[in-house]
Amino acid sequence: MDPYDVIIVGGGPAGLSAALVLARCRRRVVVCDAGRPRNRSAQAMHGFLTRDGIDPMELLRLGREEIARYGVEFRPDVVADARCEENQLVEVVLESGQILRGRRLLLATGIVDVLPEIAGIEEYYGRSVWHCPYCDGWEHRDEPLAAYGGMREATGLALSLLSWTDRITVCTDGRTEVDEECARRIKTHRFPLRTEKIVRLEGQDGRLERIIFESGEPLTCRGMFFNTGQWQRSPLADKLGCCFDENGHVCTDARGRTGVCNLYLAGDANGDVQFAIVAAGEGATTAATIHKDLQDEERAADFERLRESG
């Protein structure tokens, strides 16, 4: 079988958007996707122009429908391994055992948020427990909220949430180490501070009503925002020799090149602004870069052929 021009790992906004641009450049493209996009727990996606409030899964369904019209292949499978070596086709091994070969590899594999270790939190995640005020702060405007994390992270989040509400309690869930700067800010902004360990969340149908602590009064609140870190969803970038920044995000140039031969990356995995519309934009930018790099390679090969044939 002829190699693909581009193999894309990840069928979230970044991967699908890249596939659309590349297919319209008449490139032969396959998208391999394990079907675990970062925001699959959310019922509505916000801030995506013309799609504000859409079910995130519906956005991806529409995306798959669009790329199918251009003949992009879609494989609902996990890429278990990959290889990118100089002067060779890139190769990916699917969990089903199949091997695909192509000229370029694009990772659009996303990240995973570390959920706070609170019993039953999954029921609330994506409904009233969030990590991103830009994505979901507006829905909680003027409501009582909890900002969760270590003292530094929770204080930073509380300050950020002030654009949406001033009814914010900093919750450190048993982390009692004092940071002078944070303590000063908490005092200045009169944020209530709860350092007790959280026992559970209570509410109905995923809508948070109160937080129960090991000691002290329950905290009435309508939402909780957390900042407890994130990691790469896929080990592929690491396996293939990419560089990472101190937060575990993959380093790329502004056009999605990783510095590893024939390997590109777009979307949340690079740690830039983590919005779906930004991931889609990065997918499009990286697609244009890949197309241009392939064109350069093709022109060089044409030139060599013409030169040899006199």
Ligand X SMILES: Cc1cc2nc3c(=O)[nH]c(=O)nc-3n(C[C@H](O)[C@H](O)[C@H](O)COP(=O)(O)OP(=O)(O)OC[C@H]3O[C@@H](n4cnc5c(N)ncnc54)[C@H](O)[C@@H]3O)c2cc1C
Q: Using the minimum distance from each CB to ligand X, give the nearer residue, 6 or 151.
A: 6
Q: Using the minimum distance from each CB to ligand X, give the nearer residue, 135 or 182.
A: 135
Cα–Cα distance measured from residue 46 to residue 148, given in angstroms and rounded to the nearest whole number: 22
The gap from C-alpha 228 to its chain's centroid, in whole angstroms, comes to 15
User: 157 in the Ramachandran plot: left (φ > 0), alpha (ψ -120 to 50) or beta?
Assistant: alpha
Least gap, CB of 9 to ligand X (angstroms): 5
Least gap, CB of 122 to ligand X (angstroms): 11
Q: Name the site residues for ligand X (rule: CB under 6 A).
A: 9-15, 32-39, 41-42, 45-48, 78-79, 108-110, 113, 126, 130, 132, 135-136, 233-234, 236, 267-268, 274-277, 279
Least gap, CB of 60 to ligand X (angstroms): 8
**Nearest by Cα to 114 from 170, 56, 153:** 153
The one-letter amino acid at 291: H
Q: Nearest 5°: phi and psi at 163?
A: -70, -20
Question: Could you tell me the sign of the dihedral formed by the alpha carbons of 171, 175, 176, 177, in that order?
Answer: negative
Q: Using the minimum distance from each CB to ligand X, give the nearer residue, 48 or 191.
A: 48
Q: Hey, what are 111's tokens? A: 């990240």
Cα–Cα distance measured from residue 30 to residue 251, given in angstroms and rounded to the nearest whole number: 24
Least gap, CB of 105 to ligand X (angstroms): 12
Cα–Cα distance measured from residue 277 to residue 285, given in angstroms and rounded to the nearest whole number: 12
Cα–Cα distance measured from residue 290 to residue 297, given in angstroms and rounded to the nearest whole number: 11
Q: Hey, what are 161's tokens? A: 């949430």
Q: Using the minimum distance from each CB to ligand X, give the nearer residue, 57 or 199.
A: 57
Q: Using the minimum distance from each CB to ligand X, give the nearer residue, 136 or 196.
A: 136
Least gap, CB of 86 to ligand X (angstroms): 23
Q: Using the minimum distance from each CB to ligand X, give the nearer residue, 5 or 33.
A: 33
Cα–Cα distance measured from residue 181 to residue 256, given in angstroms and rounded to the nearest whole number: 37
Least gap, CB of 53 to ligand X (angstroms): 9
